[in-house]
Amino acid sequence: MTLDPFRHGSLTDVGGVLVGHHQRRSRGWLTGTTVVSAPDGAVAAVDVRGGGPGTRETDALDPRNLVDRVHAVCLTGGSAYGLAAADGVMAELEQRGLGVPVGPGATDVVPVVPTAVIFDLGRGGTFSRRPGPDFGARALAAAKPRPLRGSVGAGTGARSGGLQGGVGMASTTVAIDDAAVTVGALAVVNSSGSVIDPTTASPWIDVAGLRRPKRAERRRLDDVMAAATAPLNTTIGVVATGAALTRAETGRLAQSAHDGLARAIRPAHSLMDGDTIFGLSTGTDPFAERSTGIVRDHTSRAVQLNRLFAAAADVFAAACVDAVLTASEVGAAPTYLAVCPSARRAATTR
């Protein structure tokens, strides 16, 4: 999968999905919140692989349990303290009448807001400055179809292997019969592992067609990566598709996205990471009902699902790389392209 280095597509290419950010970057602050909004609702699932996750409402997404659709997913800084950002998302959804109906009134609802956090405490200088309910409410209110990426929202205080991390996105389409089904991803990369291969000074997976950095830049990058001292990290995100999937199938979508995470970030899923990926299915794209059996026919549902799952791994890997390539210097950590500016010149013209 080869993509333009700064035009990878967006999670919002999936119909029915919006993304909003809110962040603070001064006076001791360096953190933020990102909300993935599905105003018409989406089937949701989750797959947690890291050894130190910080999450909320993940049990509600189990296919054996009651909640079958959600209207927002919250991704935020602040470690476990940052889970409070979901309170603001809940309050905003309640005002909109979006949630699980529990009474006769239009706003008699209980919004279910699955949430995951990254560790960025103290990176702006003050440990106690982390997202609260206002961050979640403002991020949801800012949700739009053309969101920013890089060092924004939940990726504001993110770091990746000594470099500035951030929010990355990517999307692709999969041909199903005569229709095109969209699969998109958003990754908040705050990893103890690195997106960059230290032996080549280039991303582990080349989704951007970058040049190999100059020798002096590679030496500087070695120094930056060797000096990395932040073991408490996490990569979190969302993978979504317009295909109409069951909750179990949406769970497999999230599971497959972890394959992409592990390709792009090495090592991944450590005890110090809280790697968590949510899956969403909006049902906005045609996806014909087919046999659920194991059939050799290329039109079988099992074969079609496998193609979606493979695409989920590809786009999440691309989103992880995109997060590091589009990061800006907002804190003490340098960006990859500031250390290796010669890599930015694409190897081929697209």
Domain range annotation of the chain? 11-16+34-74+151-344
Residue holding tokens 């360096």?
Answer: 30
* Residue pLDDT, tens place only, 210-241: 999 999 999 999 999 988 876 678 999 999 99
- Return the closest-CA partner of residue 247 out of 47, 101, 83: 47
pLDDT at 206: 83
* C-alpha neighbours within 13 Å on the C-beta side of residue 236: 32
Q: In the predicted model, what is the mean pLDDT of residues 269-288? A: 89
pLDDT at 3: 43
Average pLDDT, the chain: 91
pLDDT at 288: 60
Distance (Å, rounded) from C-alpha 26 to C-alpha 122?
12
Statement: residue 255 has pLDDT above 80? yes
* Residue pLDDT, tens place only, 111-120: 999 999 999 9
Least confident of 29-38, 254-263, 284-293: 284-293
3 state SS of 10:
coil
Statement: residue 286 has pLDDT above 80? no
Q: Write down the pTM of the prediction.
A: 0.94
Q: In the predicted model, what is the mean pLDDT of residues 286-297? A: 57
* Residue pLDDT, tens place only, 123-132: 999 999 999 9
CATH code assigned to 11-16+34-74+151-344: 3.60.70.12
pLDDT at 231: 67
DSSP state of 251: H
Contact 188, 236 (CB under 8 A): yes
pLDDT at 346: 54
H-helix segments, the chain: 85-96, 133-141, 215-226, 247-264, 301-325, 336-339
206 vs 278: which has the higher pLDDT: 278
Torsion, CA 34, CA 39, CA 40, CA 44, rounded to 10: 20
Joined tokens for residue 54: 């910080």
Joined tokens for residue 10: 């967006």
- Of the pLDDT bands very low, low, confident and very high (cuts 50, 70, 90), residue 348 is very low
- Of the pLDDT bands very low, low, confident and very high (cuts 50, 70, 90), residue 287 is confident
Distance (Å, rounded) from C-alpha 209 to C-alpha 290?
38
Statement: residue 165 has pLDDT above 60? yes
